[in-house]
Amino acid sequence: MDLKNKVAIVTGASAGLGVDFSRLLIEKGAHVYGFARSSDKLDALQKELGDLFHPVTVDVRDEAGVKQGIEQALEEQGRIDVLVNNAGLGKFGPLDQLSSENWDVQIDTNLTGVFLCSRAVVPAMKAQNADTGFGGHIVNIASVAGLVGNANLTAYNATKFGLRGFSEALMKEVRQDGIKVTCIYPGSIATNFGAVAGTGGAPNPMQSIDIAKTLLHVLETPENYLISEVMMRPLRPRG
């Protein structure tokens, strides 16, 4: 896809990976609707990235809020070409110390949030396919934790394994509607994720800008060429 003048929704745009996804998409000339809860961070990013960045203060767990944010993008731009389901978090720890609140926040954000955002964009993408022969591209940010289980990650593993299943099922469901679905499985990245999860993370993580460059590559492939899964790791995680 040629990203110039295209319209992308990036969830979790206020920090980490979502900032670099937004930055590179805008460098390519796309409009980016950045979804997150922290309006102060989104506004600061808008000042840095300019008018192509459209801050949308929304919690991806909020069905009505997600619907409203997607409708705003459609009303203002008339189309949605890309959805990057990136908002997510971990809350790590032993199962017998995992609170129901921390179970729920991971399931609700990492899985239900993806469901709500994807369901809200698919009708527009199907209509675009009917008009032009190509619908759009949904990219889900899972994790190596979507492929490999680890001690103290029960809830997080459950969400990211679940996201893998969601992605593969949706990919097969909408490919004939001209909609690409890709699931990405990164290892440790230098963001605030580890602090939220309550872990230090790997000592020698990947940089979010490098994940963002891979995302661009995946999005810019020719229409009849789908990279459905990508896994990436730090070469030397311990340094």
Ligand X SMILES: NC(=O)c1ccc[n+]([C@@H]2O[C@H](COP(=O)([O-])OP(=O)(O)OC[C@H]3O[C@@H](n4cnc5c(N)ncnc54)[C@H](OP(=O)(O)O)[C@@H]3O)[C@@H](O)[C@H]2O)c1
> Toward ligand X, which CB reaches closer, 1 or 141?
141
Residue of the chain from 89, 98, 107, 231 that contacts ligand X (CB under 6 A): 89
The answer to whether the beta carbons of residues 89 and 105 sit under 8 Å apart is yes
167 is a contact residue toward ligand X (CB under 6 A)? no
Is 88 among the residues that bind ligand X (CB under 6 A)?
Answer: yes
Q: In sequence order, which ranges of 108-224 are alpha helices (DSSP H)?
A: 113-132, 154-174, 193-197, 208-219
Q: Which of 18, 55, 69, 178 binds ligand X (CB under 6 A)?
A: 18
- Nearest alpha-carbon partner for 132 in 71, 72, 81: 81
Nearer CB in complex with ligand X: 63/177: 63
Cα angle 99, 163, 192; round to 5: 60
8 binds ligand X (CB under 6 A): no
As given in the structure block, the two tokens for residue 4 are 């110039």
Q: Which residues are tagged catalytic?
A: 156
Q: Which of 141, 158, 174, 212 binds ligand X (CB under 6 A)?
A: 141
Q: What is the C-alpha separation between 186 and 231, in angstroms, rounded?
A: 6
Site string for ligand X, 92-131 (x = CB under 6 A): -----------------x----------------------
Which lies closer to ligand X via its Cβ, residue 128 or residue 211? 211
36 binds ligand X (CB under 6 A): yes
List, as one string, the DSSP characters of 44-106: HHHHHH-TTEEEEE--TT-HHHHHHHHHHHHHHHS---EEEE-------S-GGG--HHHHHHH
Q: Which residues bind ligand X (CB under 6 A)?
A: 11-18, 35-38, 41, 59-61, 86-89, 109, 141, 143, 186, 188-189, 191-193, 196, 201
